[in-house]
Structure formats: C-alpha cells, structure tokens
Structure 1
C-alpha cells in the first residue's frame, strides 16, 4: 500500500497478504491521529490549541503527549541540536503552511533569524500529561512525530497481524514482527522517491531514517532554504552533509540522530561513533563517511 500524506509518501508492506487490510486500517488510523494532534498547519489540531493557550497549564491527549515526550527526549539526547521550540524559526523562513501549498519562491523574511527559545523552557509533566508552554513559544514536532507514527504503525500492525511489517513514511522506516527471509531490503538515496538508489541495505529489526537537504526546498529573498533548522541560530545549518542515514532501535531514535547529524556538521561522525549508531553520511561533494560498523 502507498499513499501521499504530509507532503510525502507513506508505504506499508507486510509478510502475510492476509494481514494487509488490518495493517492498512492501523496506518490510516495512526496517521489521522498524529495529524489531528501534531499538525501546526491545522487550526483545529491539538497543538494549535496548545499554542493558543500558551502561558497556562494544559492537559494534552495521549498522542500529543507521546509526540511531545519523544521530542523533548530528542532535545535532551542531542543537547538541544534537535529542539521542538523551533516553530517560530521555521515559520519565519517561510515554512508556515503545508509544504504542498508553499510558494517555491518569495521575498526575504522580514526579520533576521533568531535562536530557538530552548526545549528546557517547556514545562512538561509526563505523569499527568500536563504541559506549560511559555507565551510566544511555538512548537514544531514534525520530524519526531513522523518517526513516532512509523514506530506506532509498525508495532501495532505487527501485533494485530502476527506477521512482519515495514512502514516507510517519507524516508522514516520502521520494521516490526518477524522479518522475511534475508531481512527487509531497503534502498537508500538522497531522495526517497528516486527510482534509482545509491545502495541497498538489509534491516531485520528497528528503524532506519534518512535526513537531508535535497527535498523540501524553497527560495526566499534569493536564498535556498530547506526544512532542517539549526535551533542555535534559527537558520538553516551551514552543514557539509547533504544526507545522513542512521540505523537505531526505533525510528524515532534513528530520525533524531540523522537530523542531529545534519545540524552538527563536521562533528557528526564523532558523535555518532560515541553513540554507537551505524550511519552513512554523504557530503556536498559526494564523499561518503560511515560510522559504527555501517555495512558490517
């Protein structure tokens, strides 16, 4: 099964064809639930209501609570290199509407980029699912929420169908349940929609995520911009990497690390080695750097 969602593609594969209808229902249900909770492009989403209530404590529903929890964990694990409080910065760069509705070119932003307020300013009590968002702070949970959706869909579909499941949400991949003989074979490329891939990897469990600057690009004031923002500057990162692909125990962890690698720049290989995460980085001159036994 394949469909278009969130300005990208969603693909679902199962090892037992009889389990496909149930897995499709899980996919559609989870995509709808995550969109209703986390989309900053919907006035009726739960996160939009949270923004409107900034300055007062709000108890959020289970899906937004899960998404907020993984985003704050990502920020903590990366020392703020991946930070959910970049909402204002992303919108200032022009990504204020669904990507499919964005103008490919336009005038320069009216204000200079500003650093994100910082994830640590978000008051979050996971025991009560209560969040206190400071006034003026806007969240962007897009990357980690998409990866979380892949994790949730694959795990639930595997439980319901009793078979192996692969979910690919725009380059965020999660497999669950028994893998097919020889494992899941996945193509890796700068563009997840490309017909030709740079290489093929085999995944038996966990997640694989590719972050890069080749997709979701636009121009403002003559500048080439893209969807990955450095929270430390509020601007697109000055990174040597065009693409970062990381394997981890979950899609959320893989996505966190691949996004962090793009933002970290030259320090990324050392950090990925220290974390023990197998990764493949491709720089702007097509040079490939691998870490932690990638390809072993």
Structure 2
C-alpha cells in the first residue's frame, strides 16, 4: 500500500514538472496516446496546487476505459464478452452494461445503421497492412451483424450472443463516452472552462480566455486544410470520416466505418460532423449518419432536438442540417 502511494506521489511530481512548460495564463494543455488515437486535455486551472492531480485523474480515466472496453486487449471486459458470450450469459460491470443498453438504443433509433456487432465482419479488416476479407468471408459472416442478436438481461446484468460468431466493438461510441467521463471529472474538481478530445470526438465547456472556443473540422482530402472553423461553447463535436483508417486497393477505398447491411465500408460520404449535448451521443450519431448516407442521415438529424450536422458528400460538397442551413 505504501509503495503504491509512493509511486502515485512520484508520478504526480513528474507530471507536474512535465506540464509546467505547458501552463500559460493558468491554462494546462496535455496530449497523449490512448484508445488507439491521440487525446488532448486543455483546461483553466482553478488552483495550481490541484492541477497536476486533476490532470492525472483525467489521463487515468481514459486508460481505465480503454482497459475495460478495448477489443484489442485480451484482458478487457469486452474481449471476455467476445470470447464467451456465444456460449453462456456473461455477467458484466454496470458501466459496460449501461453502455451496451445505450448502444442498443442508438441501433433502434437508426434502424440498425449503428450496430456494435459490425465487428463480426469488421475484425477481418487490417487497415495498416491493407487487408480486407474476401467476398465469401463477408457473405458467410454477415448474418452475425445484427444488434438483435445481443441479448441483454437487466435483472442479471448479463449479455448473451444469440449467434455463434458474433463479435462486438464499441469503437463508434466508447471514445465519446470517455470524453464525457473526463469532462465530468474536471467539473467535479472545480474546472469550468475545458476542452477534452479523443481522436475525432471532443467536448468543450465554458470558454477560452472569455471568448468562444474555435474547433476546426479537417478537410477529408487535404490534411493541411480545415473544412470549417466553428466558434462554439458548451457542446460536443464528433467527426467520422473515411480518411483516418483506410487503404485503397484497385481504386476502391476501404475504411473503418462498416455498413452493417453489407459488411463493407460505407460509401457516399467523405465526412460527417455532429454537434450534440453529449460526446457519447455525438460519437454514435456521426457513425450512424455516415452509414445512413446524405438524405437519410440529414432526415435523422433534423428530427432530433439540440443536434446539428455538417456532411461532406462523395464529391466534396458541403451539406448542413436545417438549423445550420438557416444561418447562412
């Protein structure tokens, strides 16, 4: 116990020394790798004394969620589900159970465009090595992509797969959830002005030096350009695009946003940005709208309260949800 406490104190001292170079006008900024992407934390320091501890709490939370929900870590609770849930109901933590319930809710809302069982085929794609499943593999496994095959039992807090080869992946919602959790930690520690991001998912609270935050959306075909730079406050932003994890083969782009109906990469859009009250919601909706495509995606967003969208179609043209279009 003493050794753990000593290690924790040393970690905070080292972190304090490291971040002291990033403190500017009582602001702290720190970036690190987690959940297979880069995460950034920026917040105004309510007290310089608690700043290193507060930052470490947020960093630890990101790594905790990654350890719980990563499909790539054999020791994660999600990996345990993928190994065993096809044979027997698996009792899981309330936190993971609640996120599976929320995922099912988004599946129903989007009529299956959001489906965490996409991984039943999606796990065969290797974007680093330009590997994709054969059409025969897709056809054989595609029937396992069905959110209705994930049986949740609230009373026993268990999950069971109704098909033998189902695999799930929370890549379309977990990073957004992690951002929300980290924002809550900052709030609990007295922070009122902050920005937290994990890959394409971010959330802002308060303001930046008494001004609105400016959040840039990447151009999907030009890394050096921003599509738009939005003045925002108190909102979550999630961007899903075909340009982050992809490869091209025979003139076809294969990327990580899988259409549950086909087992293949969704096509028709290059990028979707969603603005919503929570990062969990924005994350799930950006994936869903990308799969739904231009017309169905905008129809979904236009029917939701406090939700906005910016879409880039396959030709690079911009499209907006009705609330944004009215501002032009």
What range describes the TM-score normalised by the shorter chain of this pair?
Answer: 0.7 to 0.9
For residue 230 of structure 1, report the CA deviation from its aligned partner. 0.6
Residue 69 of structure 2 corresponds to 38
Q: Are the equivalent residues in 2 in contact too, given 1:210–1:255 (CA < 8 A)?
A: yes
Instruction: Give matches, 1:20-35, under 5 Å.
Output: 20-35=51-66
Whether 1:111 and 2:137 are equivalent positions in the alignment is yes
For residue 150 of structure 1, report the CA deviation from its aligned partner. 0.8
Q: Are the equivalent residues in 2 in contact too, given 1:37–1:63 (CA < 8 A)?
A: no
Q: 1:107 to 1:151 in 2, by over 3 A?
A: closer
Task: Pick the structure with greater CA Rg.
Answer: 2
Instruction: Give matches, 1:199-238, under 5 Å.
Output: 199-219=228-248, 223-238=252-267
For residue 209 of structure 1, report the CA deviation from its aligned partner. 0.5
Q: String of CA shifts for 1:106-127, please: whole Å, max 9, x gaps.
A: 4753623425431122111345
Residue 260 of structure 1 corresponds to 288
Aligned residues: 287
Q: Are the equivalent residues in 2 in contact too, given 1:187–1:200 (CA < 8 A)?
A: yes
Q: String of CA shifts for 1:256-288, please: whole Å, max 9, x gaps.
A: 221111111132222221224211111122211
Instruction: Give matches, 1:1-296, under 5 Å.
Output: 1-16=30-45, 18=48, 20-54=51-85, 55-92=87-124, 94-95=125-126, 102-103=128-129, 105-106=130-131, 109=134, 111-113=137-139, 114-134=142-162, 135-176=164-205, 178-180=206-208, 181-190=210-219, 194=223, 196-219=225-248, 223-239=252-268, 241-266=269-294, 267-276=296-305, 277-294=307-324, 296=327
Distance 1:7 1:218 in 2: 17
Q: Are the equivalent residues in 2 in contact too, given 1:82–1:256 (CA < 8 A)?
A: yes
Distance 1:270 1:282 in 2: 15
Runs of at least 4 residues off by over 4 Å: 191-195, 219-223
Q: String of CA shifts for 1:24-51, please: whole Å, max 9, x gaps.
A: 2232222222112111111111111112
Q: String of CA shifts for 1:34-89, please: whole Å, max 9, x gaps.
A: 11211111111111111222221111124422432332222122111010111121
- TM-score if structure 1 supplies the norm length? 0.87
Q: String of CA shifts for 1:148-204, please: whole Å, max 9, x gaps.
A: 10111111222213322211111101124x334232221111369945422211222
Distance 1:76 1:115 in 2: 18
Distance 2:224 2:57 in 1: 27
Distance 1:156 1:194 in 2: 32
Q: Are the equivalent residues in 1 in contact too, given 2:44–2:194 (CA < 8 A)?
A: yes
Q: CA RMSD in A?
A: 2.5
- TM-score if structure 2 supplies the norm length? 0.79
Task: Give the structure, 1 or 2, with the largest relative contact order (CA under 8 Å, sep 6 or more).
Answer: 1
